[in-house]
């Protein structure tokens, strides 16, 4: 299950909970090859076919529904590793990793009937629901320019509740949450399993599955969408990983450094700061000022970039499995994209005085390695992102099979 965690301004795309098997499969495909995935979906209990089930590749633009005889076909799939998802009411979600090469793939799928369980009923007023929904949109869709052009078609499929004691917003949905992104030209269908946003620890955590569908539009609209998609792609983490394995970092505008730093021992934990501010605000002015001072203290100190920049070979490893790559480094990885300037001020992001204000992100390993594929998608041991990449929420999200106009992703 795709899982994302944000620690504002930190962002973690955490797919490391997925069951990831490094299966040695020979691909043998050319750069422009496409393939077909077909199969049949039945019930494991009765062996009867399951019609109208949603079948799609997670985080991609390939999706369909099973026919009346339970069969399905996904055509024109770009080579890469994907999670094939089958979802329908009354059955447990089915997921299978598929490695797409040049030849067709056939899968036979048996769905397990779901044991229906009663959920806890949370009753809130309409005013409370609207307030919670506004926070949800900010935390889930984002606040970038693209977010202004995103509209949730079916907000009431969301179950929203706010726990005052822990200052946590929780959300979930049994149906696809449908978001029209008129900035990028996608209808985004997100099957939201769980969501939580904690105002004390300033963390956001959610998981689910997502399918992209092209919105209809005129030729002029499609050209605008393509331009905005390219803007979202260039300098993104997806662009970086693709550039890394091709050894094209400098050509694509990326510079990477070994980065070291230490937590400031004089700054209390964020959770404690927020707890104290809540307790003293509107009660004790001096205490409030004191804890506001603590909140404004830098999180890190003794920060240092090691020069000269690193090469791709210094951080990239190639496992035996075709189509997969490994990123690893000893401290933190400081990633600069020299073709765009940053417009947001990240309080805890280190910038040398002699460095131009380019878009910058810091990668923190949460495991010894990060595994990614040829699509530039992290498939295991996901890292934590700070800086520019922390802004990448649903409004700026691109499918994993996206290719920019000049074909740089090929």
Q: 55 with 64: CB under 8 angstroms?
A: yes
User: Between vectors from CA 301 to CA 297 and to CA 302, what angle results, nearest 5°?
Assistant: 165
If you average pLDDT over residues 256-285, what whole number do you get? 87
What's the pLDDT tens digit per position in 122-165? Answer: 556 677 889 999 999 998 998 888 999 999 999 999 989 898 87
SS3 282: coil
Q: 117 with 51: CB under 8 angstroms?
A: no
pTM for the model: 0.77
Residue 201 phi/psi, 5-degree rounding, is -85, -10
Residues 6+ apart with CB under 8 A from 355: 336
CB atoms within 10 A of CB 82: 27
Q: In which band, very low, low, confident or very high, does the pLDDT at 275 lie, cut at 50, 70 and 90?
A: confident
Unique residue bearing structure tokens 């520019």: 388
pLDDT for 243: 97
State how far the alpha carbon of 59 is from the alpha carbons of 6, 398, 405, in Å.
18, 8, 20
In terms of pLDDT, which residue wins out, 278 or 46? Answer: 46
In terms of pLDDT, which residue wins out, 11 or 118? Answer: 118
What's the pLDDT tens digit per position in 220-243? Answer: 999 999 999 999 999 999 999 999
User: Between vectors from CA 144 to CA 9 and to CA 147, what angle results, nearest 5°?
Assistant: 125
Residues 6+ apart with CB under 8 A from 345: none
pLDDT for 20: 36
CB atoms within 10 A of CB 262: 10
Q: 202 with 278: CB under 8 angstroms?
A: no
The distance of Cα 286 from the centroid of its chain, to the nearest Å, equals 41
């Amino acid at each position: 299950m795709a899982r994302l965690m944000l620690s504002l301004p930190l962002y973690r795309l955490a797919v490391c909970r997925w069951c990831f098997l490094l299966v040695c499969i020979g691909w043998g495909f050319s750069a422009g090859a496409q393939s077909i995935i077909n199969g049949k979906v039945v019930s494991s209990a009765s062996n009867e076919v399951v019609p109208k089930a949603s079948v799609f590749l997670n985080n991609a633009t390939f999706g369909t529904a099973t026919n009346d005889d339970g069969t399905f076909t996904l055509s024109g799939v770009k080579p890469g590793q994907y999670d094939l998802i089958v979802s329908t009411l009354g059955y447990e979600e089915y997921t299978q990793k598929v490695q797409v090469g040049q030849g067709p793939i056939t899968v036979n799928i048996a769905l397990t009937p779901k044991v229906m369980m009663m959920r806890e009923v949370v009753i809130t007023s309409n005013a409370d629901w609207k307030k919670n929904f506004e926070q949800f949109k900010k935390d889930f869709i984002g606040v970038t320019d693209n977010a202004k052009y995103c509209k949730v078609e079916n907000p009431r499929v969301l179950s929203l509740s706010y726990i005052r004691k822990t200052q946590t917003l929780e959300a979930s949905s049994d149906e696809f949450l449908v978001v029209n992104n008129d900035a990028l030209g996608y209808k985004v269908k997100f099957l939201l399993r769980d969501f939580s946003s904690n105002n004390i620890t300033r963390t956001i955590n959610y998981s689910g599955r997502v399918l992209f569908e092209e919105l209809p539009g005129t030729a002029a609209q499609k050209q605008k969408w393509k331009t905005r998609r390219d803007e979202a792609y260039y300098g993104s983490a997806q662009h970086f990983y693709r550039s890394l394995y091709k050894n094209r970092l400098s050509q694509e505008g990326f510079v990477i450094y070994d980065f070291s730093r230490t937590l400031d021992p004089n700054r209390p934990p964020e959770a404690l700061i927020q707890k104290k501010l809540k307790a003293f605000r509107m009660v004790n002015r001096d205490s409030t000022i004191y804890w506001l001072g603590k909140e404004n203290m830098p999180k890190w100190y003794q920060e240092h970039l090691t020069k000269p920049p690193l090469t791709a070979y210094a951080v990239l490893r190639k496992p035996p499995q075709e189509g997969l790559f490994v990123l690893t480094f000893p401290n933190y990885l400081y990633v600069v994209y020299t073709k765009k300037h940053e417009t947001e001020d990240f309080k805890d992001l280190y910038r040398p005085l002699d460095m131009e204000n380019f878009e910058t992100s810091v990668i923190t390993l949460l495991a010894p390695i990060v595994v990614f594929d040829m699509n530039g998608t992290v498939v295991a041991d996901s890292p934590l992102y700070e800086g520019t990449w922390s802004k990448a929420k649903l409004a700026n999200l691109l499918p994993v099979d996206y290719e920019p106009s000049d074909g740089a992703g090929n």
